[in-house]
Structures are given as C-alpha cells and as structure tokens.
Chains A and B, each alone.
Chain A
C-alpha cells in the first residue's frame, strides 16, 4: 500500500469506497470547465463497471493516481492528484490536480498535494521533469503551479472551446534543479519524506 504524508495532507491509492465521490466530481460542471479531466471523463463515459475503473487505474504503469485526504479533518477525502503519461525512459510525466470538494478550494490543499506527489515522483520514480497544462482562465491553478516553482514554458493559442470562445492553454514545467531549489526553501519536504518506510509497493 502506497501512502504519502505531509503535515497537511495524506495521499493514498483510490479504492472502491471512492466511487461515489468520483461520480460527484465527474458530474460537476465547474470541475469540467476548470480541469476538463481525461480521467474523470473516462470514469463517467468509458467504464460501465466502475470497480474495473479502480482496478485499471491502480494497475496502470503509466500513471500514479492518489486521493487527497485532509489531515485536519480526520482523513476526509477532498480531491485527487496524479502523475500521468509517465515516461520512465526519459524521466518525465504530466501533473493533474483536482480539488473536488469546493469547501477546500483556494486554500492551498491542491498545491501541497501536488508538491508531495511531484517530490515522490522525482525521488522514487526518478522523474526529472514534470509538466502541467492549464486553461488561461484557471487562475487558482496557475498560482498554485507558480508557488510550486513551475515555470511558464509556452502557450498553446486558442486551443480550448468554452462559453462560446476559444481559450489559450498555458504549458508549465519544472525540472530537477528547480525542484531542489523549492525543497531548500520549504521545510515541508523534510517533514513529508521522513516516513519512507510507509512507501511500499510490489515489484
């Protein structure tokens, strides 16, 4: 069982107890507009057998999806964070963060969960680059990425159609040395990875 912890959040693998909340998030038009998650789309439309969705998600060797629990609220599950399209040969992956419970948005929960998973990806999976794409109107996600040390690397102009208009997609990235810089600024990382024995998996 893979579990990652920091002072504020705990990340754990999804299980069948998450099906109802995943359904709620997949049906949420606000999340669809802000994140347009391929994962939630797949959950909603591609899988009739939702238990199979969880099995496939946890067995997928190209992604690492983790549910976000708020430590201050007895482990209440507030969202999902994942590294996907993981390429171990070249050492890169893409990041997606979804804070499904609206009471926990704009308060730094997604930011800390992302930081924790990215660090795990770099430390344990050997990733040296993480990339994230965000719609230009999603200011909270942009701020969160910048706070986590991501750099704006490019703009995919007028790519996404929403509310009768085409919007730009911003491409952010972070590479190994920049993450180390973040680590030295934040005591958070030291606290987060003391429990390396909690990280177990089956080869």
Chain B
C-alpha cells in the first residue's frame, strides 16, 4: 500500500510511499470522491518518502490532479525532492499543482 490518508479541517492529507499499482489509483479516486462529497476539495500530498517519479507515478499524480480540478478542487504537493521536482518540470505537469516547500511553510501561509 502506497497511501496513508489523514482527514483534517477542510483538507485531506496524504503521505505517499514507494510502491504503487492500479489498485492504489482506484483507492485514491474513491478517497477523492468521498472527500469531495464531504465538502473537502483540497488535497495535500506529502512526497517526503518519494525519491523519484516514474512514468506511472507521474501518470497517477496527473490523473488525480485532473480529477480534483474537475471538482473545482486543488492538490498541493509538499516536501518535493530535487529529482521529483525535475520530473514534474520535464513532464510539464508542475502547473497542475500548488507547490509547497514544507508543512511549516504551508502553516505560515506560503503559496
């Protein structure tokens, strides 16, 4: 399992870990739909345990971002390592997300 989820005020916080497969995608989609039905349209994905993104990892992130945007929501990414950021830039997917340096910065109101 690659996802740990935590609900907080107005937001869903997720911690991603190493292994990912199609089952995780289905689980995440359900999580998004459940969250939106509860009125939570912001997702925060913590990537501190992710060293690099493969093609499939990028594809999952972009599909989640599209799904949340369709519902007028937003995904924030926190704790991006250099290789992860580089992969998002090269695939031109960076603009789909709100990038936050760290959870501390987020609490201080950084965009």
A129 CB to closest chain B CB, in angstroms?
14
A203–B57 Cα distance when bound, in Å, is 4
Q: Is the CB of A201 within 8 A of B62?
A: no
Q: Is B91 an interface residue (CB 8 A)?
A: yes
A203 CA / B28 CA spacing, docked (Å)? 14
Tell me if A42 is interfacial: C-beta within 8 Å of chain B: no
B58 touches A61 (CB 8 A): yes
Cβ B56 vs Cβ A89 within 8 A: no
Complex CA gap A62/B18 in Å reads 20
* B96 and A203 form a contact (CB under 8 A): no
Which residue, of A60, A87, A197, A203, has the highest number of chain B Cβ atoms within 10 A? A203
Q: Which A residues are in CB contact (< 8 Å) with B9?
A: none
Q: What B residues does A196 contact at CB under 8 A?
A: 21-23
Closest to B47 in A: A203
Q: Look across to chain A and name the residue whose beta carbon is closest to the beta carbon of B64.
A: A126
CB distance from B29 to the nearest CB of A (A): 11
Contact of B91 among A59, A61, A201, A203 (CB under 8 A): A61
A89 and B22 contact, Cβ closer than 8 Å, known pairs A61-B87, A126-B63, A203-B53: no
Within the complex, the shortest CB–CB distance from A62 to chain B, in Å, comes to 7
The digit string for B37-57, where 1 denotes a CB below 8 A from any CB of A, is: 000000000000010111111
* A89 near B92: Cβ-Cβ < 8 Å: yes
B56 and A201 within 8 A (CB): yes
